[in-house]
């Protein structure tokens, strides 16, 4: 737990900062998640969207507590015969959701009503409702079909014809605390700067006791993620599941991407890795060429399409086979699930360090194996973030340096490999992708993100000995010139193929 500063410093901090807390119904110490603005977005669009988002958030926050109490009573005591008493315990919010925690009578167990900030009549569309339903049914699927401690769903509504007049999910409160604040660091590692910013000192030099806790935590997490090996699918996309007790097995269908203006873009599904990557190649070009204002910017768009195509062509197929297997090229591809944000603040532990819950599965997809459940958790691949840096003031986000992360990556890989092959037969499994997943998942981020693509590709270039000195803007222009730059294109292709190679 971090050390709290003086009251004056706390007031100064809260008056100047907006905290991006995880969407969970527990008290959180400040955890700053600073989002860098992407190069592709115009500042006017960003400003307008932020202004609208602020108004929508205020609308959701203004829902009166009495309505949340009535909502709970309408479900647990609709006739009012049991004389149940409900009280609001706390209010919390994250970047995308507002959470109200309530307690029923003197029951120790508490429940949470979560309302999306987009859940206003002005912003909510049929696509938002579909995405919301997908989140609910996916959460139920994970809760019922896996060993992962995912919160169950008591009740939900994707519309406005209800007591609170907004979409909601009701689920049990997860007990414990997030691993970021309560496991990964020791108390004396936390400190505050004069400007009120949280910093972490000495995270790479843990005590033997803390090191043991970290390794046990990684082993427990690897065992839970390994359970997802039992869930394979034939397409890339989102799980489409009917919300009924006798529902058919999940199918894989379309999902939505979020555009710069906040609208949802229907995408997929894709029957192969190649189809998915071909779609991304074209998407990159169409997005960039639409912003081109002159000839040089058009060259840049064409050059970025070439770079994106090289990255796509270097990424492998998705088969659970060794790359040397003769059947590799003809074996049908299968796809797996992956937590979209497996970071420390989304993993809850009890006082003994046992994992009690994993949250924030919104955006769950079926993906190629090289970006799937066997990938390193996000907190072990921070060194592939487009904004990764070592300055002390950013230590709350980037607390471990690459040489600190490497032993934990290897330990997690070892634990996952053991969990996927408990008999120790030495058989091939998805852990073969784990150590390379920092690079492959960064590639997916570059292909999927409208905010971070350029910065992420520049970060990947640093991993390539032949290319680490090149600047991406210059590379984009030269690749996009008439005739291109064949020699460099060949070098870049070979380098990325090596970077994404199978272990």
Query: Which domains, ranges and CATH numbers included, belong to the chain?
Result: 15-178 (3.30.200.20), 184-248+313-499 (no CATH)
The pLDDT score that the predictor gives to residue 50 is: 53
H or E stretch at 441: helix 437-448
Q: Which two structure tokens, joined as six digits, stand for 403?
A: 């040489």
Q: Which residues pair with 98 in a beta bridge?
A: 93, 115
User: Using CA atoms, how far apart are residues 265 and 154, in angstroms rounded to an integer?
Assistant: 30
- How many other C-beta atoms lie within 10 A of the C-beta of residue 26? 20
Determine the pLDDT at residue 80: 82
Biggest CA pair distance of the chain: 80
In the prediction, which pLDDT does 247 show? Answer: 77
pLDDT at 64: 97
Going by their DSSP bridges, the two strands 198-200 and 190-192 should be labelled as: antiparallel
Instruction: List Cβ neighbours of 47 (8 Å cut-off, separation of 6 or more).
Output: none
How is residue 165 annotated by DSSP? Answer: S
Helix-helix angle 295-314:437-448, to 10 degrees: 140
Q: How far is CA 13 from CA 26, 50, 61, 222, 397, in A?
A: 20, 21, 22, 37, 17
Q: What is the mean pLDDT of each run of 10 residues along the chain (503 residues)?
A: 43 35 37 35 49 80 97 92 90 92 86 96 95 96 96 97 98 94 93 86 95 98 98 97 85 89 88 95 78 84 90 92 79 95 96 95 95 98 91 90 97 98 90 95 88 86 86 89 93 93 72
Contact 201, 373 (CB under 8 A): no
Residue 237 region by backbone torsions, left for phi larger than 0, else alpha for psi between -120 and 50, else beta = left
Query: 412 and 376 in contact (C-beta within 8 Å)?
Result: yes
Interatomic CA distance for residues 384 and 443, integer angstroms:
10
Q: How many CB atoms lie within 10 A of CB 28?
A: 16
Q: What is the pTM of this model?
A: 0.87
- Confidence (pLDDT) at 5: 45
User: CB count, 10 Å around CB of 448?
Assistant: 16
Q: For residue 350, how far is the Cα from the chain centroid?
A: 23
Is 227 within 8 Å of 334 (Cβ atoms)? no
Question: Strand, coil or helix: what is 346?
Answer: helix
Cα 30 to Cα 417: distance, rounded to the nearest angstrom: 35
Classify residue 122 by burial, with Cβ atoms within 10 Å: 0-12, 13-18, 19+: exposed
**161 neighbors 69 (Cβ within 8 angstroms):** no
Eight-class DSSP state of 147: S
């Amino acid at each position: 737990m971090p050390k709290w500063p003086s009251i004056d410093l706390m007031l100064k901090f809260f008056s100047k900062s907006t905290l991006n807390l995880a969407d969970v119904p527990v008290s959180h110490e400040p955890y700053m998640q600073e989002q860098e603005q992407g190069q592709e977005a115009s500042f006017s669009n960003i400003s307008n969207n932020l202004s609208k988002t602020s108004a929508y958030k205020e609308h959701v926050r203004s829902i009166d507590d009495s309505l949340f109490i009535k909502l709970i009573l309408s479900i647990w005591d609709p006739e009012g015969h049991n004389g149940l008493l409900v009280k609001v315990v706390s209010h919390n919010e994250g970047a995308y959701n507002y959470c109200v925690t309530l307690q029923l009578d003197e029951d120790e167990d508490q429940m949470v009503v979560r309302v999306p900030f987009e859940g206003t009549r002005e912003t909510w569309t049929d696509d938002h409702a579909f995405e919301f339903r997908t989140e609910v049914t996916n959460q139920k699927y994970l809760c019922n079909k896996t060993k992962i401690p995912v919160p169950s769903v008591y009740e939900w509504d994707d519309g406005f014809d209800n007591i609170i007049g907004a979409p909601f999910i009701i689920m049990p409160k997860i007990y414990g605390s997030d691993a970021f604040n309560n496991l990964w660091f020791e108390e004396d590692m936390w400190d505050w700067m004069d400007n009120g910013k949280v910093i972490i000192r000495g995270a790479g030099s843990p005590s033997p006791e803390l090191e043991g806790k970290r390794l046990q935590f990684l082993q427990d997490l690897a065992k839970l993620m390994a359970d997802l090996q039992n869930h394979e699918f034939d397409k890339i996309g989102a799980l489409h599941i009917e919300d009924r007790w006798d529902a058919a097995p999940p199918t894989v269908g379309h999902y939505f991407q979020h555009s710069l203006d906040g609208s949802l873009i229907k995408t997929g599904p894709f029957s192969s890795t190649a189809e998915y990557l071909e779609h991304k190649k074209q998407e990159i070009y169409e997005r960039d060429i639409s912003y081109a204002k002159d000839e040089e910017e058009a060259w840049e768009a064409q050059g970025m399409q070439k770079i994106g195509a090289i990255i796509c062509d270097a990424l492998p197929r998705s088969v659970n086979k060794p790359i040397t297997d003769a059947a590799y090229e003809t074996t049908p591809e299968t796809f797996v699930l992956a937590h979209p944000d497996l970071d420390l603040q989304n993993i809850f532990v009890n006082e003994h360090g046992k994992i009690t819950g994993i949250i924030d599965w919104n955006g769950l997809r079926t993906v190629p194996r090289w970006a799937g459940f066997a990938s390193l958790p996000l907190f072990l691949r921070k060194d592939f973030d487009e904004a990764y840096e070592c300055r002390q003031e950013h230590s709350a986000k980037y607390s471990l340096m690459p040489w600190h992360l490497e032993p934990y990556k290897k330990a997690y890989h070892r634990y996952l490999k053991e969990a996927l092959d408990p008999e120790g037969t030495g058989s091939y499994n998805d852990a073969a992708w784990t150590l390379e997943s920092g690079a492959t998942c960064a590639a997916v981020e570059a292909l999927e993100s409208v905010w971070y693509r350029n910065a992420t590709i520049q970060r990947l270039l640093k991993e390539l000995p032949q290319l680490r000195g090149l600047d991406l803007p210059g590379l984009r222009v030269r690749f996009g010139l008439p005739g291109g730059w064949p020699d460099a294109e060949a070098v870049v292709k070979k380098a990325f193929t090596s970077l994404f190679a199978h272990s």
